[in-house]
Amino acid sequence: MKLPIYMDYHATTPVDPRVVEVMLPYFTEKFGNPASRQHQFGWIAAEAVETSRAAIAKYLGVEAREIIFTSGATESNNLALKGIAEAWHQKGSHIITVSTEHKSVLDPCRRLEKSGFQVTYLPVDEYGTIDLNRLSDSITSKTLLVSIMTGNNEIGTIQDLPSIGKLCRDKGVFFHTDATQAVGKIPVDIFDTNIDLMSFSGHKMYGPKGIGVLFVRNSKPKIKLTMQMDGGGHERGIRSGTLNVPAIVGSAKALELSILSMNEEANRLRYLRHKMYDAFTNSLEDVFLNGHPTNRLPNNLNISFIHVEDNALMMSLKDIAVSTGSACSTADPEPSHVLKALGVSNDRLHSAIRFGLGRFTTEAEVEYTIDRVIENVNKLRNISRPFRRSSNKVMQN
């Protein structure tokens, strides 16, 4: 076992060596611009892009023309929300999302509010789950879009997408989901869940950074978007910009590998996650699970160690990479907006650590992490105030 140990797979993942292998030729001998239609360098690059597009579409069960390449899930989310709002503003001016969404959904919604759109931010229960009745009651004749994340990047809670999608379809509103943490990790059936737009990125599934995907439904209903970047009309006029060919090729291979190993990998990560959780709750007092106890991403474990300040615990674990929340919000000194939305106590809010397990996590690394966390929680508590004995040992297999 090598140190340091990486337990922050929600922030990003290492590129799988098999993905690197298929990407390499497109940095050197196959370096052409796919928009160069006058010579074979461009033709070879364009063929690689379309082959990758078709492969991604096949794995998702959609048509190749419904796959749009972007620079990442943040851009995909922006394009989905702003693109729908601008293209369909004559139909309505209301958008519904959830208070626990990623900032790349919440911030575009706030920008749209400044442009005259009304946004409803649905609350969640103590586990991070929305109330479907409340969602239904929030939809009005002016509602254009519902945007709800598949699996939460901080607490791992998985929303009931089939019920949400059916509700949106019955009400005649578009349904977008940020599936960045879910694609390649859990099954996501676009058509059974009536998803109209779906965002995800390569670097969360052992592919490269700088590449994202936006699924845009082409029929029943056909989704029209207003482009957000002008300059060339690439990607069928939806997203201008020179395509990142190596990353596109890599993302297709990464998705293939993730789909093929999904069930086996999910079972392995659940086993490791439960080993950690059981060790913490059996050896320590005042340990609380954040997020849904059962309906959560298989690689996610978000734990509050009461009376231990989160940053102090992270600093004591210098040879283990963990997080207090989203990597996109680490510059913000404020506590996690996701945990605040759950209504947890201040003690839980300021003592939460997110463990993100992944493809290259070993059992030896998990055992080392368990020992180090227990050791340092006890040390920090010994120099802190006395703590109350309690726990919420509710996670089930």
Buried b (16+ CB within 10 A) or exposed e, 307-335: bbebeebbebbeebbbbbbbeebeeeeeb
Residue type, 229: M
Encoded tokens for 144? 């254009």
328 classed as catalytic: yes
Residues 6+ apart with CB under 8 A from 55: 252, 255, 256
Q: Ramachandran region of residue 107, left (φ > 0), alpha (ψ -120 to 50) or beta?
A: alpha
Q: Which of 312, 314, 321, 328 is catalytic?
A: 328
Distance CA 376, CA 305 (A): 11
Q: Residue 346 phi/psi, 5° resolution?
A: -60, -35
| Half-sphere exposure of residue 195: CA atoms within 13 angstroms, side-chain side | 28
Q: Which residues of 4-22 are buried (b: 16+ CB within 10 A; e: fewer)?
A: ebbbbbbbbbebbeebeeb
Which of 234, 201, 197 has its CA nearest to residue 217?
Answer: 197
Instruction: Determine the Cα–Cα distance for residues 135 and 130; give it in Å rounded to an integer.
Output: 8
Strand partners, 302: 354
Q: Which residues are catalytic?
A: 328
